[in-house]
Amino acid sequence: MAARGERFIVAAVRLLMPRRHDARIGRQAARYWSASDGDQSWDSNSHWRHGIGDEAFAEVGRDHLEIYQRFARALEVDTPTTIIEWGAGGGANAVAFAPHVERFISADISPDNLAECFRQVQAVCNTPVDTLLIDLADPNAAADGLRHACDLFLCLYVIELTTGVDAVRTILRIAQRVLRPGGMAFVQVKYHTSDGRTRGRIGWAYARNLALNTTFTIEEFWRLAGECGLEPQLVTLVPRNRLDSRYAYYALTKPVSGMEPQ
């Protein structure tokens, strides 16, 4: 009887530990990204202009726009009029994409990032910018009212900063929900290889592993996107750029018809 009781306790601990672990990592991520507190490394990690420098800031947006345009031409998708960027940071992508559309929606966990992104876009174009504050405890709430409202969903230099596969699955399902049928999600992940040192390191110290928290193989993310109701179409790899290494960029489209994923 005692042995049976011990087995029950061990099983209960195993069930609870992942939940406690996930909750702790989530709190660490929320604390880290909520505000800059004047930290230069935070400004750099959020890709603010003064954090990474004018040249790198321009390069980030330019390179991403070029990759997206190659995807769009290959897939013959419609020119977007409304873009949402999930995890906009300091606006490096927004300043490249916003001048080409009628409406830009900036979503981020940090009020400081939202304000800086808005400021950067307003400095380069007259495109209206809406800002959405993401609560990591309920990220779906930020997308309320946007069902089928967007032509393009951007999520760049974000996935590797998330707190695991469940968080990524939530982002992909949000993309599926806000995109109109036929719209595209342009998403970047950090890929890992057979070298164990390149794998994600979700653990107790979120900030220590910042840009290497959540990684995927190319196939793993391709399959996950499909499970979330998006159709993987194209992928291109950037083994290294001035910021880091092992970037994979995906073109994911929302089916024109079909059942919505649960």
Whole-number pLDDT of residue 140: 97
Bridge-based pairing state of the strands 245-253 and 179-190: antiparallel
Alpha carbon distance 36, 100 (integer Å): 30
What is the C-alpha to C-alpha distance for residues 32 and 207, in angstroms, rounded to an integer?
7
Which amino acid belongs to residue 183? G
The reported pLDDT for the residue numbered 21 is: 54
What pLDDT was estimated at residue 73? 97
One pLDDT digit (tens) per residue for the chain, 262 residues: 455 554 444 344 333 444 455 678 888 888 888 766 667 799 999 999 999 999 999 999 999 999 999 999 999 999 999 999 999 999 999 999 999 999 999 999 999 999 999 999 999 999 999 999 999 999 999 999 999 999 999 999 999 999 999 999 999 999 999 999 999 999 999 999 988 888 887 766 788 878 888 999 999 999 999 999 999 999 999 999 999 999 999 999 999 975 555 5
The length of the chain in residues reads: 262
CA-based nearest residue to 198, from 239, 236, 162: 239
**pLDDT, position 16:** 42
Q: Look at residue 13 in the predicted model and tell me its pLDDT.
A: 38
Among the four given CATH numbers 3.40.640.10, 3.40.50.150, 3.40.720.10, 3.40.50.620, the one describing domain 2-253: 3.40.50.150
Q: What is the pLDDT of residue 179?
A: 98
CA-based angle 144:150:153, to the nearest 5? 95
Contacts of 25 (CB under 8 A, 6+ apart): 163, 164, 202, 203, 204, 206
**For residues 197 and 144, is the Cβ–Cβ distance under 8 A?**
no
Helical packing angle, 165-178 and 218-227, nearest 10°: 50
pTM of the predicted structure, to 2 decimals: 0.89
pLDDT at 209: 79
Q: Residue 228 and residue 260: Cα distance in Å, rounded?
A: 9
Sorted by where each begins, the domain ranges of the chain are 2-253
pLDDT at 38: 67
